[in-house]
Amino acid sequence: MKWIDVTWVINPQMTVWPGDAQPVMERTATHEEDGLQGTRLTLSVHTGTHIDAPRHFISGGTTIDAIPLATLVGPCLLVDVPGCDLIEPCHLEKVNWAGAERVVFRTDNSTLTPEGGFRRDYTGLSLEAAKFLIKQGIKLVGIDYLSIERYEPNSDFAVHKALLGAGVVIVEGLKLKGLAAGRYYLMALPLLLKGSDGSPARVLLGQGQDE
C-alpha cells in the first residue's frame, strides 16, 4: 500500500484558532553545550492536524485516550466539495455511502497556507449535512481546515455538538491538496493524553490493492 501523509508539520509560525497561542518549541539542551538536543513543546491539543474527541463539547463524552482504534483506522471516503463555503446535504446525496464509516472532505480550504493569520472565510459543514452523515452511520469525519464548522462570533458550535454528541470523531486540519477523490485507508493516531478533549495527530491515507 502507498501511504500519503496528510498531516501538517507543527511549527511556531502555524495558524491557530483565535484565542489559542502558537506552538512554542523551546530548546532545553544543545549538542554544543550539553552533548545532546532536547526540546520542550507547549501547544493546544487542537493545534494543526488534530482530533476532537466527544469530550471537547459533550460533558461526560469519550476522551481522546478512550476512542477505539477501530474508529480511527479503516476504509475512508475522500469527497471533493469545491466552490462552496458551506457543505450542505445536496453535496452529499450523490455520494456512494455503501460501506462507508469514515469520510474526509477536500474543499477550497486546501489551497490555504497552514501559516499566517486565521481565515474566517473557510469552508465548513452545515448542521443539516452533519445530521445527514450521522444518519449514514459515519463514525469519523475530517476536513481541511482548523474547524469542521464555519466560524461565527459567539457560535454555539451546533455542528460539533451534533457530531460529537452522536459519538462521531472529528479530524481537523488535514492536508489534502492534490489528492484525488475516492476510497482510501485511513490511520488517524492521536497522542494518548489521559482525559483530554483532543490531541494533535499523525494522519495517513493509504492507496493500493488493500485499500
* 31 neighbors 37 (Cβ within 8 angstroms): yes
Give 129's contacts (C-beta < 8 A, 6+ positions apart).
87, 88, 89, 91, 92
* 5 neighbors 204 (Cβ within 8 angstroms): yes
**β-pair partners for 182:** 78
Place of cell 483532543: 198
CA angle 67, 43, 76 (to 5 degrees): 35
Query: Could you say which of 46, 50, 56, 160 is catalytic?
Result: 56
**Separation between Cα atoms, residue 209 and residue 118, nearest integer Å:** 39
Helices within 59-177 (DSSP H only) = 69-72, 127-135, 158-165
**Separation between Cα atoms, residue 39 and residue 28, nearest integer Å:** 5
Check if 56 is active-site: yes
Q: Which residues are catalytic, by number?
A: 56
